[in-house]
Structures are given as C-alpha cells and as structure tokens.
Amino acid sequence: MRLAKVVGTVVASRKEDVLDGMKFLVVRDCDFDGTESGSSVVAVDAVGAGLGEVVLYASGSSARLTQVTNNRPVDATIMAIVDLVQVGDEQRYTKDG
C-alpha cells in the first residue's frame, strides 16, 4: 500500500455503469510525516476519507477487494485512514497533529 494524502476530487458523470455512486478522490503520495511528495493517482474511496487526510490505498486487483469496489473496473482504492506513522522510535505523523 502507499501512504498518500487526499488532495482533491474528480467528478465524472459519463462512466461505466457499475461505477455509479463511487467517490473518486485525487490522492498524492506523501512522506512519513504527511508532506506531499510523489505522484498523484485517482482512487475510489471505500472508507469515507476526507480532504487533507493521510490514507493508505491499494493498487491493482487488490483495489477490487473492498465491499464498495468488488468486481468494478477500479485499480486504486483507499482502504484505510491513517492515525499514526511511526518510524524507528519517532512518531512522524499523527492524525490529530
């Protein structure tokens, strides 16, 4: 899974039918402390993530193993909202700052 920050939303009214009702979020890979760094992808939200939250997303066929995305043409899904990232002995990120 990749650590990423939710930075935006994509709206797409014309799409494969089975995608109706899904929420497409723009997520950008981030460092351990939540600073945006890497590249961005568009992921379906399976856990009610909000703008600015640090999340984990799964890619590939694993992105289809949530209740929301099951058998859908989706290759990236947010499956967890991160509370804490600890590296070595140090807390690098906590959701409540």
Interface residue list for a second copy (CB under 8 A): 1-3, 7-16, 18-19, 24, 26, 32, 40-43, 46-48, 51, 56, 58-67, 69, 71-77, 79-88, 92
Q: Give least dist CB 82 to a second copy, A.
A: 5
Dihedral angle sign, alpha carbons of residues 29, 30, 36, 37: negative
Residue number with CB closer to a second copy (67 or 97): 67
For 67, half-sphere exposure in the C-beta direction (CA atoms, 13 angstrom radius) is 3
Where do runs of H (alpha helix) occur along 20-92?
Answer: none
- Between the two ends of the chain, the Cα-to-Cα distance in Å is 22
Q: Which is nearer to a second copy, 35 or 59 (CB)?
A: 59
Min. distance of Cβ 60 from a second copy in angstroms? 5
Q: How far is the CB of 76 from a second copy (least distance, A)?
A: 6
If DSSP codes are grouped into helix, strand and coil, which group holds residue 89?
coil
